[in-house]
């Protein structure tokens, strides 16, 4: 598990542990994660490693000799991360090194995927439409371009190295463990403090996908016996930011007057598209993420309250 301490990574690790997997949990150096892993019922060998260093990554794979690698490491989702060189080292170069290591160490008796790599909807850019996986992407941000480079490097590993791997493009993932500046944590904080929350007008529509469903989808893809490829992993349903916020407000019993819509500008990189194409996901695993917005928010609130 690369990026095991991240928001989505910890949920993938939790799902793997629930299935009885022996997991090597790779985290950033100097990261204190034992308490967090205990809260999420995650257990395994914790290894702190600088994934921007190819020599360290190769040594890590020689030591762990994984049957399957889930790559949830990424740079640029956090708004404070904006160095292009670092983005390409983690989002692209790491994928090349990972594929090279897997090619020489893979388990010949394993029929599933060698790599399940978390891609991003940002790889598509502003192309519109249903974002089918065979669309021609035009990413507009450093994050999107570097993630697309990683997806292409995984494809090269499949072609030239007999590495089976999926690049699962994720959309707006929400749930416990999100970064504090994201929408749901901001709503939870407003409910706790009673402070007003400044929001955009909220008309932009997103495919909100509950994080446990994302983890389940990644594990399902991991056991598919196929060469791999690109696959969208989302609900296929669009919900406006305003509806999401108002739904959370009702569940949290948040005074509607505290939701100050229109007080913040829309993001310049906001994507507009139709409902996301999921035919490939359905064909591969006969499943799509089932959790609706209200249920996902309720489960998030319950989890956070249990932790508190």
Which residue ranges form the domains of the chain, and what is each CATH number?
A: 7-170+213-234+274-289 (3.40.50.720)
Could you give phi then psi for residue 238, rounded to 5 degrees?
-100, 140
Q: How confident is the model at residue 81, as a pLDDT?
A: 87
Mean pLDDT of 115-138: 97
Q: How many CB atoms lie within 10 A of CB 64?
A: 18
Condensed to tens digits (0 to 9), the pLDDT of residues 52-89 reads 999 999 999 999 999 999 999 999 988 788 899 999 99
Q: Is the pLDDT of residue 210 over 80?
A: yes
Q: How confident is the model at residue 307, as a pLDDT?
A: 83
pLDDT band at 97 (very low <50, low <70, confident <90, very high): very high
Dist. CA 134–CA 156, nearest whole Å: 16
pTM over 0.85: yes
Which residues have CB under 8 Å from 89's CB, separation 6+?
52, 75
Q: How many CB atoms lie within 10 A of CB 274?
A: 11
Can you read off the two tokens belonging to residue 303? 């989890």
Which residues have CB under 8 Å from 44's CB, separation 6+?
1, 13, 17, 22, 23, 24, 25
Q: How many CB atoms lie within 10 A of CB 140?
A: 15
Mean pLDDT of 233-258: 97
Dist. CA 186–CA 264, nearest whole Å: 14
Q: How confident is the model at residue 29, as a pLDDT?
A: 87
Dist. CA 79–CA 92, nearest whole Å: 19
Can you read off the two tokens belonging to residue 148? 């697309």
């Amino acid at each position: 598990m690369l990026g095991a301490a991240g928001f989505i990574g910890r949920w993938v690790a939790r799902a793997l542990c629930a299935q009885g997997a022996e997991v090597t949990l790779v985290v950033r150096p100097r990261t204190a994660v034992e308490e967090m892993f205990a809260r999420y019922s995650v257990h395994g060998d914790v290894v702190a490693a600088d994934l921007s260093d190819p020599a360290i990554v190769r040594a890590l794979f020689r030591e762990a000799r994984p049957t399957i690698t889930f790559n949830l490491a990424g740079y640029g989702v956090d708004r404070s991360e904006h160095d292009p060189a670092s983005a390409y080292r983690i989002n692209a170069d790491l994928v090349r090194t990972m594929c090279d290591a897997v090619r020489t160490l893979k388990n010949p008796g394993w029929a599933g995927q060698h790599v399940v790599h978390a891609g991003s909807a940002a790889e598509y850019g502003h192309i519109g439409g249903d974002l089918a996986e065979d669309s021609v992407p035009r990413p507009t941000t450093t994050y999107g371009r570097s993630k697309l480079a990683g997806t292409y490097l995984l494809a090269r590993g499949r072609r030239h190295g007999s590495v089976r791997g999926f690049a699962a493009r994720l959309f707006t993932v929400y749930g416990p463990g999100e970064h504090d500046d994201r929408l749901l944590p901001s709503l939870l904080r407003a409910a706790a403090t009673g402070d007003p929350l400044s929001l955009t007008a909220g008309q932009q529509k997103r495919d909100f996908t509950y994080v446990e469903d994302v983890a389940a989808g990644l594990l399902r893809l991991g056991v598919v016996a196929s060469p791999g490829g690109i696959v969208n992993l989302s609900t296929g349903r669009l919900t406006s930011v305003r509806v999401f916020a108002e739904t959370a407000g009702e569940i949290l019993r948040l005074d509607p007057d505290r939701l100050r819509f229109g007080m913040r500008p829309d993001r310049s990189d906001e994507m507009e598209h139709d409902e996301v194409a999921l035919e490939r996901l359905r064909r591969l695993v006969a499943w799509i993420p089932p959790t609706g917005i209200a249920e996902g928010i309720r489960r998030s609130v319950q989890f956070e309250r249990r932790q508190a």
